[in-house]
Amino acid sequence: MNRRRRFAVIGGGITGLSAAYQLYKLALAAGEPIDCHLYEASDRLGGKILTYREQGLTLEAGPDSMLRRKPAGMGLIRDLGMESEVVDQSLAANKTYIVKEGNLIPMPKGTNMGIPVQFQPFFETNLLSPSAKARVFSDLILPRREETSDESLGGFLRRRFGDELVNSLCEPLLAGIYSGKIDDLSLAATFPQFGLLEQNHRSVILGLRRAASKSAGSVPETGRSAFITLRRGLASLTDRVAEVLAPEATFHLESPVSSISKHDRRYAFAGDASLDCLYDGVVVTTPSEPAAKLIQPFAPHWHWIHSIPAVSTATVILGFRSNQIDVQLDASGFVIPRSENRGITASTFVSSKWPHTTTEDYVLVRCYVGRSGQEQYLELSDEQMLQLVRDELQSLVGIQVPPVFSKITRWNDAMPQYHVGHLDRINTVETELKSNAPGLVLAGAPYHGVGIPDCIQQGQNAANEVWLTSHL
């Protein structure tokens, strides 16, 4: 093939930017110049990564961190020469509170998503009744499940540990990850490692303890994985990718793609099949509903993509004068079970968790509103939502003074929900695309992971696939 290959990426979030960057790297390694076009429906790049930088403050309106242990995130950071900008979560904020009957109670140390790895702290917590604690440890003697079909994450955890642990600890911890109902979410698509622990060790608790003993010190005392962010905010990551790509790729902002047509083994948009507008490969990283419409001509089960549920949420950032705050925010934040019936689902004490984001003059708190089954609070006006959050912060934390500034960011249909059977449905559609439209690939949060490293990995995998297909 003597002509210059052309590729398109639809969607300018972290998945799309990662796909475009991977295509750039592949072309550079092969010594083969390409044309890469990235189409974004909005007026900016970055998708759900959105950082405000004001008055010396760094305010995250979307995700505020990523997991260090997932290699794709750190790999991209290193590739871009940004490793010196990595910031770890403050060790002084290694505690997380759970709300119970309106009180903040520390989550027991040595747990993994609420499951005890260390026994003594778990026995001492007053988050659970004595009978609930006994039920949790029945996992030590229960047999493994013989069926291999997917089941709900909630069903799995209830079967192994009982309802009280799930309702009080496990589900609220999931609120910040999926904003979903634990009894709807797929085990295989969200926490497949728990299913593997049951199959390999019979007891999940014993499996976690054996894993911890093999890598002593790798399980944080809080039971949560190590989080990292970037000194100038996570938008500095997407900004840097765009900066590197700028001389090599063409960005089309405010340019939604409405349709894709296939011409032999190449693709055109919106009915344009002129030779200079044909693409050898296309990576689709939009939300699931527009993605489904784009792949409809090529995937008989496109409606499975269209029907992936998505939950709306909002983040509310509050800034207080530090000399007016008389309560100690001595943790990373708190999470709230559904049974508490509050508008806030979780809160981050930003100044404690990420002290680099603020100055000594301010205390920053970020609250989350909305999750599956509790989206009615998103119908409030900004003024009403702010008042709701202020009232609940006063009740729970004791902050009585008004904030000196606030920012509300609404994320409509932003959190895809992986219901039971999700992976089988996605695999079916992906197989149909490989057969009927090789070189047309889906990637992004609706499919194989919602975290930043997961999306980066999906973008890279999709780029590898369209590159290989274009060379067959």
pLDDT given for residue 175 in this prediction: 64
Length of the chain: 472
Backbone φ, ψ for residue 262 (5° rounding) = -105, 135
pLDDT at 276: 62
CATH superfamily of the 6-48+234-308+419-470 domain:
FAD/NAD(P)-binding domain (3.50.50.60)
Question: What is the Cα–Cα distance from 127 to 372, expressed in whole angstroms?
Answer: 24
pLDDT of residue 216: 58
Cβ partners under 8 Å of residue 216, min gap 6? none
What class, spelled out in words, does domain 65-69+86-92+310-416 have in CATH?
A: alpha beta
What are the beta bridge partners of residue 440? 282
> Domain segments of the chain: what residues?
6-48+234-308+419-470, 65-69+86-92+310-416, 109-218
Give CA–CA dist 282/399, Å, rounded.
50
What are the phi and psi torsion angles at 115 (to 5°)? -85, 130
By C-alpha distance, which of 16, 24, 79 is closest to 47? 16
Cβ(403)–Cβ(318) below 8 Å: yes
AA letter at 115: I
The string of DSSP codes covering 174-215 is HTTTT-S-TTTBBHHHH-HHHHHHHHHHSSHHHHHHHHHHHT
pLDDT tens, per residue, the chain with 472 residues: 567 999 999 999 999 999 999 999 999 999 999 999 999 999 999 999 999 998 899 999 999 999 998 999 999 999 999 999 999 999 888 899 999 999 999 999 999 889 999 999 999 999 999 999 999 999 999 999 999 999 999 999 999 999 999 999 999 987 668 899 999 999 999 999 999 999 999 999 999 999 888 775 444 444 434 799 999 999 999 999 999 999 999 999 999 999 999 999 999 998 555 556 899 999 999 999 999 999 999 999 999 999 999 999 999 999 999 999 988 899 999 999 999 999 999 999 999 999 999 999 999 999 999 999 888 999 999 999 999 999 999 999 999 999 999 999 999 999 999 999 999 999 999 999 999 999 999 999 999 999 999 999 999 999 999 999 999 8
Answer for the pair 101, 94: CB distance below 8 angstroms, yes or no: no
Q: Quote the CATH superfamily of domain 109-218.
A: protoporphyrinogen ix oxidase, domain 3 (1.10.3110.10)
User: What's the confidence (pLDDT) of residue 221?
Assistant: 44
Q: Say how many CA atoms lie within 13 Å of 367 toward its Cβ.
A: 26
pLDDT value at residue 2: 67
Which token pair is 145?
Answer: 């499940």
Residue among 350, 354, 383 at smallest CA distance from 365: 350
Give the pLDDT of residue 217: 46
DSSP structure string for 147-183: --S--BHHHHHHHHH-HHHIIIIIHHHHTTTT-S-TT
